[in-house]
């Protein structure tokens, strides 16, 4: 399984929002600049996250985006689903025909593919946005202490 850039950018944007003190608002342009993502592309991603109710938008001066829930309540699987990412290793697991495979009905790997998808779903359901933020903050802290920064 390979995560798309859309998913990676969605995760990075959500980490930015989660790390805002006091659930502060961040504008699209600030997130795009910090994450080095083109604003138009990020706008499409944030739209999907908003439609999935993972974030909320605030209009007007000082507007932008905030998380709609606590980061501890946002599962990574929800983020993948919001941007249209699939954990299916092959198309037939999704019940779709695969034009590259003529063995759909007779596939000896079908059970394995279904099991792999179940395990990937379980993995992404076991981690939250908060877990990602804590890991990221730990790495930043370790890097700062290594170079004598505070």
Q: Return d(Cα 72, Cα 69) in angstroms, integer.
A: 8
* pLDDT at position 95: 77
Average pLDDT, the chain: 88
Domain of 53: which CATH number? Answer: 1.10.10.10
More confident call, 76 vs 142: 76
Dihedral sign of CA atoms 132, 133, 138, 144 in order:
positive
Please tell me the total count of domains within the chain: 1
Helix axes 39-51, 5-18, angle to 10 degrees: 70
What's the predicted TM-score (pTM) here?
Answer: 0.83
pLDDT tens string 64-105: 999 999 999 999 999 999 999 999 888 888 877 777 777 666
Over range 108-132, report the average pLDDT: 94
Could you tell me the residue range of the domain that residue 30 belongs to?
A: 5-146
């Amino acid at each position: 399984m390979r995560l798309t850039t859309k998913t990676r950018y969605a995760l990075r944007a959500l980490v930015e929002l989660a790390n805002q003190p006091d659930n502060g608002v961040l504008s699209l342009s600030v997130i795009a600049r910090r994450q080095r993502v083109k604003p138009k592309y990020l706008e499409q991603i944030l739209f999907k996250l908003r439609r999935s109710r993972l974030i909320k938008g605030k209009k007007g001066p000082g507007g932008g985006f905030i998380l709609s829930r606590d980061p501890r309540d946002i599962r990574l699987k929800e983020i993948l689903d919001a941007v249209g990412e699939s954990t299916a290793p092959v198309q037939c697991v999704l019940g779709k025909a695969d034009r590259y495979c003529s063995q759909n009905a007779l596939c000896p790997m079908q059970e394995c593919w279904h099991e792999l998808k179940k395990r990937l779903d379980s993995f992404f359901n076991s981690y939250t946005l908060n877990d990602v933020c804590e890991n990221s903050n730990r790495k930043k802290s370790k890097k700062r202490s290594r170079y004598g920064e505070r």
